[in-house]
């Protein structure tokens, strides 16, 4: 294991040898050049930001470092020695820990088992020491401030943010020299992100190097010492954070200056007609009986804010009838309806972009086009027979609108980068033309440029009368998009803000207030 | 951006790849075809009688029933299920069909039509129950069809009082051994079924969703499709094909007995697996199944010609199944399918 003391002595500012060095690393998948000459060097005790557009090669680079993907060309040095891992195990043995962008937890095992999966505590007979494991897992979760889940729960029960934190906890179980975090904050709300940053700072002070991938430049500026930009698989920029600024980074990422994001003086597109209304609508897991009441108008974009576990996702799942049984009343365009399955909800005109693309959004091993048309198969078929041409047209049209970076409509969804996978999930619902669209973290992992495109597209759809309900952990996103924001806490609506009242402070105030009230009860 | 432009250029090729014929799938089927070819070459060089017209039609006849059952099994395995009851169901369908077929004084044509209806109907009912019970209660189909394995066998014995039914109309039997250009008609029927299944699986919404369910059930459900319908349909199709196989069995062997078909489910599963379909569901083609059934058939026949004992043949077939899965695993890793 690493000698923390000597590293800290070195970190005084004198030239220290880099702990990790990459030189001109290349990797192609068939015709796609995922990495086309990446060079970078990471100092001990440095937080190294790695940024770039969707499909720029960040995750591929990380897979190279942890032995999942073997590079075609280039050299990697770890602490001055040549390093070419062939298995993730080898990478771990060399002190690299990785939290991947797409989750790798085993859904039916408990949280504790997942955390300890690599070294389950066992007694002399090889029987797992459950007590010890659970206590250890509890401590690991408390250390990252995740106290509201039981370590005996199957991971299946957790929302996506909690899963992310469990992955972080698992990576922290072993001491490492280099910790790699691939978009760890994409699913987290500000509270969890803060905790994560505290941990990162702590590790840095102990001499651990951290490679941090994010599409949030503000985070990069807050936490990183150095930042490297990839574009089309090449290093185009690598500098200490103090010597650069946001504009420069964006330019380096997209290769041009980005137009200003949509102005905030946007007018509300809400129409008087009601699109959806809920009266005491209750998800089966809601801890109380009151349920949620709200109204959504045609053309309106209603944002839902709240901390992780506040019931935002559950609300959307309930509306889409993904979970049953439900109670309370739901009206769609004024008519009372009650859905007994997602099929009925969707046929009635509800679309639902789920938060977890890998588990419930995408069929990774099927073509991109098949994923795009999955919810609108009747539009691309006649008498039950598929029209591949139509499928490809839809895919190409939406692909162009969403700036999808892909090898072709017939390539499997698994070949896409994370952000591009997210765009496919969006495309699936845009292809269907619903009346009410529920979006759960719609831009998770999407890069700045494409985000602006998606926002514009969402506005366009609202203009056509589509009503949107958006859950997002990114407050700036909610504030850019929404006409109105409601704040949830403990499965209740605890606050509502109209556009002129929007501010991060007020939203967070409501969110935390609700929680404290709950604690007092 | 650049990627987009490239895509548009290659559109024409892509249209075909979308529907089950991606180059990788093609490669996989070609690989299995190559294995079959090697096997054929090996046996033709190694034995005198293998490549004679007589023996070939012999093999094709022997393959037929397993092939029909395996086509149905492909549907079930594609959605991540398994059907262990097809052997017993075959017996049950046969005795029901056989009973109708031997109704005295019925004109042959009507008797055969009614018998087919009865056999296929029986298969449909059993298959529907398999699918419905496992989908409605969320039970593993392994367990449910294990139950059906016993139920159908018991029912076949009960219906016939454990007796064998025989003396079918002679023209029905003549049909069972009819040849066209040296190819058994019953095999041609099986080929037609393969073609239909291929079309359904690769060209229709129905087929698309079966693959989808095998890969990611939840995504399909949340995209607004009824899992229940597709799951029940897959098992029902398998049941219907058992009914057809039962008719073919009777036409060829001129009997219907409640104890036929023991272990047939395993042969069908073997053909599907050797054909490259994943037991986890979501991956595989019916063309693969056709090749898989041919491989098992050729192997069995060739080994007999070599003079190997029944026991030896059984062992070798087992080895081939395991080999097929291992090869598939490596292929997956190498090509990253
Ligand atoms: N297994 C694969 N087969 C084919 N192409 C792949 C594969 N994995 C990645 N690619 C391609 O390589 C490129 C880089 O992908 P990568 O996942 O590294 O992007 P990324 O920078 O992590 O993007 P994001 O921000 O969206 O996560 C993409 O164009 C992607 O489509
Ligand atoms: Mg990525």
**Tens digit of each residue's pLDDT (9 = 90 or more) over A133-176:** 889 889 888 888 788 888 899 988 888 888 888 988 888 888 88
**Is residue A386 situated within a structural domain?**
no
Question: Is residue A410 in some structural domain?
Answer: no
> Which of A363, A374, A407 comes nearest B3 by C-beta?
A407
Same domain, A163 and A180: no
pLDDT over threshold 70, residue A406: yes
The dihedral sign for the CA sequence B72, B78, B83, B84: positive
Distance A306 CA to ligand 2 centre (A): 26
Q: Which helix (H) or strand (E) holds A15?
A: none
Query: Which tens digits make up the pLDDT trace of B6-20?
Result: 333 333 334 444 554
Task: Count Cβ atoms below 10 Å from residue A377 Cβ, excluding itself.
Answer: 23
Structural domain range at position A233:
2-95+176-254
Tell me, yes or no, whether A134 and A147 share the same domain.
Answer: yes
Q: Answer yes or no: is pLDDT of B227 > 90.
A: yes
Q: Does A347 touch chain B (CB under 8 A)?
A: yes
- Residues from chain B that touch A342, judged by Cβ atoms under 8 A, are 221-224
User: Which of A227, A254, A281 is the endpoint of a domain?
Assistant: A254
> Is there a single domain that holds both residue A76 and residue A195?
yes
User: Is residue A299 in a domain?
Assistant: yes
Say yes or no: CB of residue A228 within 6 Å of ligand 1: no
* Ligand 1 atom with minimal separation from the A63 CA: 18
Ligand 1 geometric centre to CA of A379 (Å): 30
Residues 270-309 of A with CB under 8 A from B: none
Q: A59 CA distance to ligand 2 centroid (A)? A: 4
**Among A43-57, A258-272, A413-427, B250-264, the least confident range:** A258-272
Give per-residue pLDDT as tens, A176-210: 899 999 998 888 878 888 888 998 998 999 899 99
Of A341, A342, A388, the CB nearest to B19: A388
Q: Which ligand has an atom closest to residue A55 CA?
A: 1
**A chain contacts of residue B334, beta-carbon cutoff 8 Å:** none
* Structural domains in chain A (count): 3
* Nearest CA residue ID for atom 22, ligand 1: A59
Average pLDDT value for residue range B168-182: 89
Domain residue ranges in chain B: 32-335
Does A282 share its domain with A200?
Answer: no
Contact partners, residue B174, CB within 8 Å, separation at least 6: none
Considering only CA atoms, which of B289, B64, B101, B256 is closest in space to residue B177?
A: B64
Which among A136, A156, A174 is the end of a domain?
Answer: A174
ipTM: 0.86
The verdict on A329 and A281 lying in the same domain is: yes
Please judge whether B204 and A361 are an interchain contact, meaning their C-beta atoms are less than 8 angstroms apart.
no
Tell me: do A272 and A317 sit in the same domain: yes
CATH number at residue A45: 3.40.50.300
Q: If 0-12 CB within 10 Å is exposed, 13-18 middle and 19+ buried, where does residue B13 land?
A: exposed
Please give the pLDDT value at position B158: 95
Same-domain check for residues A270 and A345 = yes
Compute the distance between CA of residue A234 and CA of residue A73 in angstroms, rounded to an integer: 13
Residue A224 covered by a domain = yes
Ligand 1, residue A407: give the atom nearest the CA: 31
Whole-Å CA distances, A399 to A368, A377, A445, B4? 10, 17, 17, 8
Nearest to A377 among B14, B205, B216 (CB): B205
**Cβ of A419 below 6 Å from ligand 1:** yes
pLDDT in tens, A88-131: 889 989 999 999 887 788 888 999 998 888 778 887 887 888 88
List the A81-82 sheet strands across, edge first: A32-42, A20-29, A73-78, A81-82
* pLDDT at A12 (0 to 100): 44
Q: Are residues A323 and A210 located together in one domain of the fold?
A: no
Of chain A, the end-to-end C-alpha distance in Å amounts to: 47
- Looking at the fold, whether A244 and A272 belong to one and the same domain comes out as no
Name the one residue in this structure whose structure tokens are 């103090």: A242
Strands A234-240 and A226-231: antiparallel
With a 6 A CB cut-off, is A32 part of the ligand 1 pocket? Answer: yes
**Fold of the domain spanning B32-335:** ABC transporter involved in vitamin B12 uptake, BtuC (1.10.3470)
- For chain A, what is the mean pLDDT? 86
- Of A254, A284, A303, the position where a domain reaches its end is A254
State the residue for tokens 């650069």: A244
Distance A174 CA to ligand 1 centre (A): 28
| Residue among B205, B216, B218 whose CB faces A384 most closely | B205
Averaged pLDDT score across all residues of chain B: 89
Q: Answer yes or no: do B18 and A391 touch at CB < 8 A.
A: yes
Q: Are residues A329 and A464 in the same domain?
A: yes
> Is there a single domain that holds both residue A133 and residue A161?
yes
Closest approach of chain A CAs to the CA of B198, in angstroms?
13
Residues A147 and A250 in one domain: no
């Amino acid at each position: 294991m690493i000698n923390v003391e000597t590293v800290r002595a070195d970190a005084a500012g004198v030239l220290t040898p880099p702990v990790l060095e990459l030189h001109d690393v290349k990797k192609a998948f068939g015709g796609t050049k995922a990495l086309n000459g990446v060079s970078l060097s990471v100092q001990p005790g440095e937080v190294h930001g790695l940024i770039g557009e969707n499909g720029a090669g960040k995750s591929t680079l990380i897979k190279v470092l942890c032995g999942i993907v073997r590079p075609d060309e280039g050299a990697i040095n770890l602490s001055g020695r040549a390093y070419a891992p062939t298995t993730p195990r080898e990478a771990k043995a060399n002190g690299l820990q990785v939290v991947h962008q797409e989750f790798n937890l085993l859904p039916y095992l408990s949280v504790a088992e997942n955390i300890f999966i690599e070294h389950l505590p066992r007694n002399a007979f090889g029987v797992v020491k459950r007590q010890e494991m659970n206590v250890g897992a509890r401590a690991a979760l408390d250390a990252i401030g995740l106290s509201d889940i039981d370590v005996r729960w199957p991971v299946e029960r957790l929302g996506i943010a909690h899963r992310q934190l469990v992955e972080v906890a698992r990576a922290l179980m072993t001491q490492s020299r280099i910790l790699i975090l691939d978009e760890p904050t994409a699913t987290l709300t500000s509270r969890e992100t803060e905790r994560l940053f505290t941990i990162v700072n702590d590790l840095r002070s102990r001499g651990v190097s951290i490679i941090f991938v994010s599409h949030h430049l503000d985070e990069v500026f807050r936490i990183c010492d150095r930042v490297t930009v990839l574009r089309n698989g090449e290093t185009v920029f690598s500098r200490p954070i103090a010597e650069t600024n946001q504009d420069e980074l964006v330019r380096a990422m997209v290769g041009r200056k980005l137009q200003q994001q949509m102005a905030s003086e946007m007018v509300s597109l809400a129409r008087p007609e009601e699109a959806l209304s809920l009266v005491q609508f209750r998800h089966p897991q809601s801890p109380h009986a009151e349920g949620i009441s709200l109204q959504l108008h045609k053309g309106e974009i209603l944002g839902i804010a709240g901390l992780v576990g506040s019931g935002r996702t559950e609300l959307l799942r309930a509306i889409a009838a993904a979970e049953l049984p439900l109670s309370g009343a739901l009206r769609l365009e004024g008519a009372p309806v009650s859905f007994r399955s997602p099929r009925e909800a969707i046929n009635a005109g509800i679309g639902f972009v789920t938060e977890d693309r890998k588990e419930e959004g995408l069929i990774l091993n099927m073509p991109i086009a098949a994923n795009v048309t999955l919810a609108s198969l009747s539009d691309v078929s006649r008498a039950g027979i598929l029209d591949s041409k139509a499928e490809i047209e839809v895919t190409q049209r939406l692909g162009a609108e969403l700036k999808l970076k892909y090898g072709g409509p017939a390539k499997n969804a698994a070949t896409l980068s994370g952000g591009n996978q997210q765009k496919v999930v969006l495309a699936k619902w845009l292809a269907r033309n619903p009346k009410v669209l529920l979006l759960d973290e719609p831009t998770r992992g999407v890069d700045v440029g494409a985000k602006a495109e998606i926002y514009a597209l969402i506005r366009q759809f609202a203009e056509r009368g589509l009503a949107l309900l958006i859950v997002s952990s990114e407050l700036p996103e909610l504030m850019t998009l929404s006409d109105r924001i409601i704040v949830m806490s403990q499965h209740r609506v605890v606050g509502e803000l109209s556009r002129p009242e929007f501010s991060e402070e007020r939203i967070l105030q409501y969110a935390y207030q609700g929680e404290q009230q709950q604690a007092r009860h | 951006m650049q990627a987009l432009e490239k895509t548009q250029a290659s559109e024409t090729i892509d249209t075909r790849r979308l529907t089950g014929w991606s180059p990788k799938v093609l490669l996989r089927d070609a690989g299995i075809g190559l294995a079959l070819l090697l096997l054929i070459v090996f046996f033709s060089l190694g034995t005198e009688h293998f490549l004679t017209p007589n023996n070939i039609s012999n093999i094709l006849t022997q393959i037929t029933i397993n092939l029909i059952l395996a086509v149905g099994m492909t549907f079930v395995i594609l959605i991540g299920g398994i059907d262990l009851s097809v052997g017993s169901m075959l017996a049950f369908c046969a005795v029901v069909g056989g009973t109708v077929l031997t109704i005295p004084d019925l004109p042959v044509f009507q008797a055969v039509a009614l018998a087919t209806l009865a056999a296929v109907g029986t298969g449909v009912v059993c298959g529907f129950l398999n699918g419905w019970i496992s989908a409605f209660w969320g039970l593993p189909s392994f367990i449910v069809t294990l139950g059906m394995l016993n139920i159908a066998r018991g029912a076949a014995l009960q219906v016939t009082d454990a007796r064998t039914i025989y003396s079918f109309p002679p023209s029905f039997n003549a049909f069972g051994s009819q040849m066209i250009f040296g190819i058994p008609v019953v095999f041609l029927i099986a080929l037609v079924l393969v073609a239909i299944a291929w079309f359904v699986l690769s060209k229709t919404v129905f087929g698309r969703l079966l693959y989808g369910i095998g890969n990611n059930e939840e995504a399909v459900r949340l995209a607004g499709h009824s899992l229940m319908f597709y799951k029940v349909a897959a098992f029902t199709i398998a049941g219907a094909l058992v009914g057809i196989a039962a008719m073919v069995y009777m036409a060829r062997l001129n009997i219907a007995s409640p104890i036929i078909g023991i272990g047939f489910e395993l042969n069908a599963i073997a053909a599907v697996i050797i054909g490259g379909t994943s037991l986890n569901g979501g991956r595989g083609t019916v063309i693969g199944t056709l090749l898989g059934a041919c491989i098992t058939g050729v192997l069995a026949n060739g080994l007999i010609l070599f003079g190997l004992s029944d026991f030896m043949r059984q062992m070798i077939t087992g080895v081939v199944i395991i080999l097929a899965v291992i090869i598939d695993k490596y292929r997956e890793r190498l090509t990253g399918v």
